[in-house]
Amino acid sequence: MKSLESKKLLLIKYKYLYLMILPGLIYVILFRYLPMVGIIISFKDYQIFKGIWNSPWIGFNNFRMLFESTKFYEVFRNTLLISVYKIIFGFPAPIILAILINEVRNELFRRTIQTVVYLPHFISWIVVAGLMGGLLSPNDGIINNIIKTFGKEPIFFMGSPKYFRSVLVFSDIWKEAGWGAIIYLAALAGVSVELYEAAILDGTNKFQRIVYVSIPCIMPTIVVMFLLRISGILNAGFEQVFSLYNSAVYSVGDIIDTYVYRVGLIETRYGFSTAVGLFKSIIACVLVIIANSFTKRISEESLF
């Protein structure tokens, strides 16, 4: 009874905080949890005019077709490779950028740099695709003009399976590194100045202070962001890939999300595309549990 009364008192005491949470909670329920009912489509031969409940039940047939499809293994491999490349090259980028910005002492210059690196995040991928197409054009693109000045043949980056994944990774880093640095800058702002002063008294240089003070202090943030990145490893970036790829690079650029788009919306195979999406979600859930237990063992930091 006492615990129940104490909970009621806390509820009354923090009622305005709970009211602030309410809109977000309603959003999550309406747009995250209620749509999960649609997962049942993956076990049915969904027919749009019959609806979810009246469509014939086919059990695991959609999943069987999924695992028998050679195309699915290709897009699954592409998704993993592109995501792994983005983690290897893209995950450290905002951390390095945040540390570099944090070391700038001129306030005006620092704010200018922050603004400049944030701006690409607000540019849509359609616009970025146009910019990349112009920069990498084999006819008059800046990059190929530089290549030509060295007597080399121009490269069709956007249509070459050899270079397309590199284009995806580079454009993703350019667009999102500045925005991702915000979290690490906030974490660095919370590092005690006394730690830096103590390090200076010990005779450390700037690089050593970064290695032995800055990075360890923001390690919990890095671990949490890494776990979140692992949980989304099968999200290779639908908007980006859809805006940049073409039929010439399907073999290396076609990912699960673009495959689901074509199969589900264009070919109207709703049950099969839902099965693909469900499989993707299960794999992502397993990966985040594994990554969480692994990081908990080596760093004692975890999500749960």
Is-contact 164 281, C-beta < 8 A? no
Given this model, what pLDDT does residue 223 score? 85
Alpha helices in 232-269 (DSSP H): 238-244, 250-253, 256-261
CB 236 within 8 A of CB 79: yes
Q: Please list, in sequence order, all residues whose beta carbon lies within 8 angstroms of the beta carbon of residue 159, skipping any fewer than 6 positions away.
A: 246, 248, 249
Q: What angle do CA 224, 226, 228 make, to 5 degrees?
A: 70
139 secondary structure, DSSP code: T
What tokens were used for 3? 């615990």
How does pLDDT run along the chain (304 residues), one tens digit per residue? 556 677 777 778 888 888 898 999 999 999 888 888 888 888 988 888 888 888 889 988 989 988 888 888 899 899 999 999 999 999 999 999 999 998 888 888 888 998 899 899 999 999 999 999 888 888 888 898 998 888 888 888 888 889 999 999 999 999 999 999 999 999 998 888 888 889 888 888 888 999 899 999 998 889 888 888 887 888 888 899 999 988 888 889 999 889 888 888 888 888 888 888 888 888 888 887 887 787 777 666 666 6
Residue 69 backbone phi and psi in degrees, to 5: -85, 120
Helices 270-299, 61-68: inter-axial angle, 10-degree rounding: 70
* Residue 209: C-alpha distances to residues 64, 91, 105, 198, 200 (Å): 55, 21, 15, 10, 8
pLDDT confidence of residue 173: 94
Decide yes or no: CATH 3.90.580.10 for domain 69-299. no
The pLDDT value recorded for residue 298 is: 66
Domain boundaries, the chain: 69-299
C-alpha 283/C-alpha 23 separation (Å) is 30
How deeply is 67 buried, as exposed, middle or buried, from its count of CB atoms within 10 A (0-12, 13-18, 19+)?
exposed
